[in-house]
Structure 1
Amino acid sequence: MSERKAIFITGGGSGIGRAVAQKFAANGWFVGLADISASGMKETAALLPAGASSQHKLDVRDRAAWDQALAAFAKAAGGKIDAVFNNAGIPLGGALVDNKVEEIERCLDINLKGVLFGAQAAYPWLKASAPGSCLLNTASAAGIYGTPGASVYSATKFGVRAITESLDGEWAEDGIKVASLMPAFIDTPLLDHTANQGTNEDIRGRVQSAGLEITAVTEVAETAWAAVHGNQLHNRVGKTAHRLAFASRWMPGRLRKQVRSTLRPLGQ
């Protein structure tokens, strides 16, 4: 088992995490599934080849739990960790003035602090397996240009983008690659959640009514594979993410006007 490369994936019990686990396991990697949902991890593991994974219940907000989970995974993987995928995250939409304090704090804690804690905990393992090791963080198209009705979520994803850029510089001399995924709207169970506690409308319905595309989760998995094996810092997924990146760089005034005139906040 020690000859196999090993990747630790948070949010591995569903959605993007599950798809990335399937992609890496299919290519011979040993996969550590981390999630707060034991049933979700069990379902993901059932989709992977026999003996290709281990399961680790983890709340990414708990810094000490990170150390315990990574040590347990390294033991199961034969002593080393080649990649850590900081993927766990939750959505939050609606006007900022309508977001409840507990919603804001939970989103910040999971989406931002969880990534920082994961990076801290992952560093010694990735340094030991460098060069060629990788920290991959899930950012978002919402980290390219701020999304009306998702100010807190956008803030967390801009933060993940900043963490990625900062660590790309900090860890370069250690031979650790750092990269982000920037997906737009991906076909995962998160789209079936309501944007916040004050609305009954799910995110999927809002996205479809706005005429925006929903990208297959397998495309994210392919991009994650390319990110771990390539040298691209930010890896966009979906037409919306590519359009936002282009417009924010080359047509910022036009993008601002379009956003202010056409986008109804999620959750309203």
Structure 2
Amino acid sequence: MTDYKSILITGGGSGIGRAVAQRFSRGGWFVGLADIDEAGMAETGALLPDGTWSAHKLDVRDPEQWERALKDFHDACGGRIDVLANNAGVPLGGRLVDLTTEEIDRTLDINLTGVIYGARAAYPYLKEAGPGSCLVNTCSAAGLYGQGGMTIYCASKMGVRALTESLDIEWAPDGIRVTDVMPSYIDTPLLAQSSHAGSNKPIRDSVSNAGLEFTPVEDVAETFWRAVHGDKLHNPIGKTARKIATAARWMPSYIRRKSRELASSGLKPMG
């Protein structure tokens, strides 16, 4: 067994995953990068000290690839996986009737089913490393209250929230902490994409036009660090996410009205 801790991060080739890798590396952790983008993982790895990271090609939609990636990381890090960061995800906006079956299936498969597969596959490793091991899921402010124009994305992230809450109960006897982070709009390369196949407008433009803030990706990484070392179940990030969390709990009629206004402005998915 190792004397240092280790974390496997899906979506580690860019964006939030890259920032989380850098944050945990600074904290002295051994970092595993998991992604379908091998070039991206190499770029992330180049930002980390030599000998403190490993890369594992992974399509989170494939249970067999999950088993292989976790086994390989377990060997690479010296025999103990302390944290799985279930971070890989894709954006999807647009009215439900405008989305293709392929877009719907891909979003649910990556954002929700992939997270479920990862949790199931990681369980024996986290149990072995416990007590004190942790599963941290990337949820979203979209998991706090449904939003028009992002139905499937919200459904996927609300599923991640429910998974987090359920496993927090299921895995407590095994000494495994379960938590999630809930970003709103993060300035990563994903925002350069259009919201869905029928649109050519970048998500970043929609966010800017709505007057909402972008949360620095470094803030998200710091929240991951606090989530792993703290005791909160849900961790909203940024002003927008915190407002939604408060309104969803105490002022549901207000958030319903504001959500309709945002939908009419053409705003696309968050987190």
TM-score, length-scaled by structure 1 = 0.98
Shift of 1:49: 1.0
Offset, 1:247: 0.8
Question: What residue number does 1:139 align with?
Answer: 139
- Partner of 2:187, secondary structure, is coil
> For residues 166-204 of structure 1, what are the alpha-carbon distances to aligned partners after superposition, in whole Å with 9 as ceiling and x for unaligned?
000000000000000100001111111110001110000
Consecutive aligned runs of 4 or more in structure 1 exceeding 2 Å deviation: 261-267
Given that 1:93 and 1:265 are in contact with CA atoms closer than 8 Å, whether structure 2 keeps it comes out as no
Question: In structure 2, what is the equivalent of residue 28 of structure 1?
Answer: 28
Aligned partners of 2:206 and 2:266 also within 8 Å: no
8 Å Cα contact 1:136/1:181 also seen in 2: yes
In structure 2, runs of 5+ residues without a counterpart are none
Deviations 1:120-141 (A, max 9, x none): 0000000000010000000000
Q: How far apart, CA to CA, are the structure 2 residues paired with 1:254 and 1:117?
A: 36
Measured in 2, the distance between the counterparts of 1:254 and 1:8 equals 39
Match of 1:53 in 2: 53
Counterpart amino acid of 1:203?
A: I
Structure 1: state its 5+ residue gaps: none
Within a 5 Å distance, the mapping from 1:214-225 to structure 2 comes to 214-225=214-225
Paired residue secondary structure (1:169): helix
SS state of the match for residue 17, structure 1?
helix
1:52 Cα deviation from its structure 2 partner: 1.1
2:210–2:267 CA contact under 8 A, matched in 1: no
> SS of the counterpart of 1:226?
helix
Find the counterpart in structure 1 of residue 85 from structure 2. Answer: 85
Residue aligning to 1:244? 244
How far apart, in 2, do the equivalents of 1:150 and 1:261 lie? 14
Report the AA paired with residue 154 of structure 1. C
CA shift at 1:8, angstroms? 0.3
Matched residues in 2 for 1:159 and 1:111: separation? 9
Aligned-residue identity in percent? 60
> Which residue is equivalent to 1:110?
110
Distance (whole Å) between structure 2 residues aligned to residue 197 and residue 84 of structure 1: 31
2:198 partner amino acid = G
Query: Alignment length, in residue pairs?
Result: 267
Q: Which residue of 1 aligns with 2:227?
A: 227
CA distance in 1 between counterparts of 2:262 and 2:227 reads 33
Aligned ranges 1:1-268 → 2 under 5 Å: 2-263=2-263, 264-266=265-267
Distance 2:40 2:169 in 1: 35
8 A Cα contact 2:13 2:44, kept in partner: yes
CA contact (8 A) 1:26 1:49 kept: no
Taking only aligned residues, the RMSD between alpha carbons, in angstroms, comes to: 1.0
Q: CA deviation at 1:266?
A: 4.0
Deviation (angstroms), 1:265: 3.6
What is the Cα deviation at residue 262 of structure 1?
A: 3.9
